[in-house]
């Protein structure tokens, strides 16, 4: 995996770093959305 990272362009490195940073936030958002959907479904 590190050999692939050694040949990244600056733009690719920035994109990779951004994705790695934001994945936990996306996971939290997915969890909140799932809980909201369950709440709505159970309301009926």
Q: Given pLDDT bands bounded at 50, 70 and 90, which one contains residue 2?
A: low
Residues 6+ apart with CB under 8 A from 33: none
At 19-29, the pLDDT tens digits run: 999 999 999 99
The Cα-based distances of 44 to 10, 31, 32, 37 in angstroms read: 51, 21, 19, 12
Instruction: Give the mean pLDDT of the chain.
Output: 89
pLDDT band for position 3 (50/70/90)? low
Q: What does each C-alpha distance from 25 to 31, 33, 41 come to in angstroms?
A: 10, 12, 24
Q: Enumerate the domain spans of the chain.
A: 2-43
């Amino acid at each position: 995996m590190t050999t692939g990272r050694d040949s990244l362009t600056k733009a690719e490195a920035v994109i990779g770093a951004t994705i790695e940073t934001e994945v936990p936030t996306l996971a939290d958002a997915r969890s909140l959305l799932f809980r909201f959907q369950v709440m709505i479904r159970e309301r009926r």
